[in-house]
Structure 1
């Protein structure tokens, strides 16, 4: 899962990033409306965590452009403005949830899981191909009913591929799903993730194959 974090308080942003990355999320952090609008154009984010009070304006004004660039993306507002009129204002502007600071990290995680279960987030919680099942809410892979332990980035690759199973996923789309803005990407890093993932799926007899489409990207389909 890839999250766009829009937060201008550096200490708060750093703490949130630690919590989110510990849970296995890829986090892109921006500190202004302008940078957030530019990030939204790239798409590829599964969730937006949005502060209201930003140096260049009201965070709620970003919800419309975010949805135009990435229809259905869930938005959770994180703000110190927690009075009832403020919460009503945030929800009326289209936020999926509204969480007043300070908050416990456990509550934030629970709210993230909740909004991703709603129709505006994902249309199904699990996707199955052959013996492989992927839980899109919790980012977990299973062969039959047995959980497969995969590193975070291999899970992100698999999530991107299984969402578009049977269709080619562009290399750039895979890189956007796996890496954040600040990650340094070597030319063969994605190929290494794919190679290891392909081997593990074969060893587990998942019944799926990852095919390289030369110069374009990769495709996940049932073996045979």
Structure 2
């Protein structure tokens, strides 16, 4: 049985300032919780509506789970994990950077894509949506457990970045005609405004995804869709 105060403390983790204050975040769903658990992330508490052989899980009723969940339909498993320090990037592989991403669902999808394509380090400019936002965690489906995500002053970081900096713009060279070489980094822009002019000036190479339609009235594609298309180039 959880006290009213404990329930309140858990639900307040939906807010960034309380996640930062307590160094905790919520993960919901059996698969996502197991991803963080198996990746050796330290946890504060693990809750389940079913009895588990693992004694580290606390069994609670469905009604109590409905009080602490942040989902419209409660999952049978919820974990409260500790925010940990990400591993330092040795700059020997290919990384991804995003300039001012605001949508948590897009960020979660991109984290999952990094996991899929073997990109171990993701950089987001300050002011971007929080990596530990519940919607980001949910859409990443546990991939955050394996991808090192960093907040930084992106322009300062890129000024010192030692390898090739690729950037997705509307005026770049057809990505089909270039090879993105590792080590390097790919920069994607904000969902509405693209890459800021300050960051564009730091790019080594601008690339674009050409439309296949001659009568295309779409100005751009979703940032997570662009990430999927461009990161697939790494495996070719």
Fold match, TM over 0.5? no
Identify, as 1 or 2, the structure richer in helix. 1
What is the TM-score of this pair, normalised by structure 2? 0.29
